């Protein structure tokens, strides 16, 4: 993909937010896009523009509006579920699992939950606990990736001593 296509993809996906149910897409790191629940069309657009893996942090009982796993498979995407229920699941163990999943993909990854809050929260924990970032830098990354109301849970996770 040319270096100009990803900004174009992000512009197109962000402009699609005028339609109800469409997610806001962010790019907190190269080859990593975070979002709330993508619409079926946004998933198609992401696949057409180089996304190769989708990591879904939503629980199986959360309504996606369509069969996301089936559509991802139809599009040739690797689809992975890592259910994160909320603040109680913002743990170092879940962050390490997500980190392993992210490292398994050589292409572009779309990481999403319902609103990008859980995605940003786990990325903060990864940044601090695995990558060695300061707590403030890790929280900034999380906010850039969509973290909002889970910030107190992330702060608590970062204050817990590592075993």
Per-residue pLDDT tens digits for 104-119: 988 999 999 999 999 9
Return the closest-CA partner of residue 19 out of 40, 34, 2, 1. 40
Per-residue pLDDT tens digits for 122-159: 999 999 999 999 999 999 999 999 999 999 999 998 98
Extents of the domains making up the chain: 5-159
**pTM of this prediction?**
0.86
Can you list the alpha helix ranges (DSSP code H) found in the chain?
5-15, 40-48, 68-74, 92-103, 117-125, 135-145, 151-159
The CATH number of the structural domain formed by 5-159 is 3.90.190.10
């Amino acid at each position: 993909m040319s270096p100009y296509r990803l900004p174009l993809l992000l512009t197109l996906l962000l402009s699609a937010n005028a339609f109800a149910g469409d997610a806001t897409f962010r790019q907190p790191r190269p080859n990593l896009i975070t979002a709330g629940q993508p619409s079926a069309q946004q998933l198609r657009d992401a696949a057409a523009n180089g996304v190769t893996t989708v990591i879904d942090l939503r629980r199986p009982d959360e309504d996606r509006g369509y069969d996301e796993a089936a559509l991802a498979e139809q599009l040739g995407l690797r689809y992975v579920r890592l259910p994160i229920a909320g603040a109680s699941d913002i743990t170092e163990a879940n962050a390490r699992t997500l980190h392993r999943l992210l490292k398994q993909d050589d292409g572009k990854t779309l990481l999403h939950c319902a609103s990008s809050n859980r995605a940003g929260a786990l990325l903060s924990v990864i940044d601090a606990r695995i990558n060695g970032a300061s707590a403030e830098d890790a929280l900034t990354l999380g906010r850039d990736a969509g973290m909002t109301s889970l910030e107190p849970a992330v702060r608590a996770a970062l204050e817990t001593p590592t075993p």
